[in-house]
Amino acid sequence: MTRILIADDEEAPREQLLAALRLAWPSAQVVATAVNGVDAWDAFLEHEPEVCFLDIRMPGLSGIDVARRIGQQAQVVFVTAYDDHALSAFDAGAVDYLLKPVETERLAQTVQRLQARLTPSASAGLPDMQTLLRQLTEQSRRAPPLAVLQAAVGREVRMIRTDEVVYFESDSRYTRVVHGNANAGADALIRTPLKELLAQLDEQLFWQVHRSVIVNHRHIAAAVRVDEGHMHLTLRGRPETLPVSRHFQALFKGQ
C-alpha cells in the first residue's frame, strides 16, 4: 500500500485534497497530514511516506525546502492555488504539480504517473530533481540564519553563538544544545523544538543526521558503519557518538 503525506497550512485545501485522494486513489493511505513545512519534514522522517503532496507556500519551511530535503527519497507533488512563474520549472515533468482546489480527474492523472514511477523498474530514468529544486530555492528569498541562541540556565539567560554549537538533540519538548569545546563544554536546554530550529539554522554548517539530531559538521570526526542500515558519528575531542538514521546515511558515502 502506498503511503502518503499531505502538507498544507490551510485546513480547507488540506481536507479537500484528502477527500479527492480517497476518490482518485482508494488503495493508498494518507499516513500523515502536516500544517506547516517544519511539521511536514518531521512527519516525513517519522512516517517515511512514498508520496508527498506539498503546498508551496507554508510557514517554517516552504514546500520547496521540504522537497529539497526529501530529495530522491520520495515522490513529491506540489500543490498551489496559483500558477506561479516558479512552476514553469516543472514543465519538464520531473515532478508533478496540482492546482487548488484539486480536481479529481486531474488528480487521477497524477496518480497514474506516480504509480508508474513507484514501480521499481521505472525509478532508474528519473530526471534530476535536485537541479530543479536548487533553481527554485535560489528564487525564494530566505531569512538569514539564526546567529545566537538564548538558553535559560537557572537565573541567567545564556547567549550561545550558533557557530559554537557542536550538536542539537531533541529532548522531549525541549532541545538540548551542546556547545563549546571538550575542556569548556556545556549543554543547555532551549524551548524551541528541534524541528522548528532546523528551519532557522545555516544549512551549510548544520546537518540533520537523525530525526532528533542536528550536528555541526565541523565537529564530526568520522562516520562509522556498524552494520547494514546502522551508522553513527564520532566527534572531535568528545566521547559520545551520534546516531545516523537511514535517511541521512547518503550524506556520508565517501569519495
Of positions 2, 47, 48, 57, contacts another protein by CB under 8 A: 57
Question: Shortest CA distance to 168 belongs to which of 119, 216, 136, 125?
Answer: 216
| 6 counts as binding another protein under rule CB under 8 A | no
Out of 5, 38, 133, 197, point to the residue binding another protein (CB under 8 A). 38
Q: Is 164 in the site for another protein (CB under 8 A)?
A: no
Q: Which residues contact 36 (CB under 8 A, 6 or more apart)?
A: 7, 9, 58, 59, 60, 61
Q: What is the dihedral of CA 193, 66, 47, 52, to 10 degrees?
A: 150
Region binding another protein by CB under 8 A among candidate stretches 7-15, 132-140, 207-215, 238-246: 7-15
Q: How far apart are CA 177 and CA 238, in angstroms?
A: 15
Should residue 11 be labelled a site residue for another protein when binding is judged by CB under 8 A? yes
| Binding-residue pattern over the window 72 to 101 for another protein, x denoting contact by CB under 8 A | ---------xx----------------xxx
In the block, which residue shows the cell 542500515? 229
Burial of 99 (C-beta count, 10 Å sphere; 0-12/13-18/19+): middle
Q: Considering the complex, state which of residue 99 and residue 118 has its C-beta at the smaller distance from another protein.
A: 99
Give least dist CB 26 to another protein, A.
Answer: 18
CB-nearer residue toward another protein: 86 or 94: 86
Residue 173 binds another protein, judged by CB under 8 A:
no
- b/e burial code for range 49-80 (CB count within 10 A of at least 16 → b): bbbbbbbbbbebbbbbbbbbbbeebbbbbbbb
Site for another protein contains 13 (CB under 8 A)? yes
Residue 36 interacts with another protein (CB under 8 A)?
A: yes
> What is the H or E stretch that residue 226 is in?
strand 220-227
Beta carbon nearer to another protein, 16 or 241 = 16
Grid look-up 479527492 returns 20
Examine residue 116 and tell whether it contacts another protein (CB under 8 A): no
59 touches another protein (CB under 8 A): yes
Beta bridge partners of 52: 5, 76
Told to check if 254 binds another protein by CB under 8 A, we report: no
Q: How far apart are CA 9 and CA 68, in angstroms?
A: 19
- Looking at beta carbons only, is 147 or 221 nearer to another protein? 147
Least distance to another protein, CB of residue 81, Å:
4
Which residues make Cβ contacts (< 8 Å) with residue 121, sequence separation at least 6? none
Residues in the site for another protein, rule: CB under 8 A?
Answer: 9-13, 15-16, 19, 36, 38, 57, 59-60, 81-82, 99-101, 143-144, 196
